[in-house]
Structure 1
Amino acid sequence: MMSYKKLWKLLIDRDMSKKDLAELADLSQYTINKLNNSGTVTTETLAKICIALNCDVGDICEVVAA
């Protein structure tokens, strides 16, 4: 299972909201909700986030045991 806790912490550290992320990375609210619920997203979505935040995938998510 994927956890996006690192992403939410990164947003807090950068004083950004989920809405800010959606606008910056050109993501829909549906995709933000999927991330918020540790749902499945595409590698393209992860790449958009990494490009928008200038970070690596390991900075925004991690695999955790279910």
Structure 2
Amino acid sequence: MAINYNRLWKLLIDKSITKTELRKRAGVSTNVIAKMGKNETVSMESLAKICAVLNCGLDDIVEITTPKVVEG
């Protein structure tokens, strides 16, 4: 299972919000933003705060993919 936050970065561009501004408005640490930049997991609480600031749902900022299984 892989997590990426590409949807979040696109949403920030669309809304003209910087990562620093998001961090301050959502009240999350620089570590959270750094982890997201590396597509690492962060707490649900942090994601909920970000969703509240951006007025969006979790699926608008996070994409979870599963590896394809090749049968043969």
Unaligned runs of 5+ in 2: 68-72
Normalized against structure 2, the TM-score is what?
Answer: 0.87
Query: Percent same amino acid among aligned pairs?
Result: 42
Could you state the TM-score of these two structures normalised by the residue count of structure 1?
A: 0.94
Report deviation, 1:64. 2.0
C-alpha separation in 1, matches of 2:15 and 2:51: 14
Gapped regions of structure 1 (runs ≥ 5): none
What is the alpha-carbon root mean square deviation over aligned residues? 0.9
C-alpha distance in 2 between matches for 1:53 and 1:32: 15
Secondary structure at the counterpart of residue 19 of structure 1 = helix
- Tell me which residue corresponds to 2:19: 18
- Between Structure 1 and Structure 2, how many residues are aligned? 66
More helix by share: 1
Q: Which residue of 2 aligns with 1:40?
A: 41
Could you list the structure 1 runs, at least 4 aligned residues long, displaced by more than 6 angstroms after superposition: none
Q: Which structure has the larger Rg?
A: 2
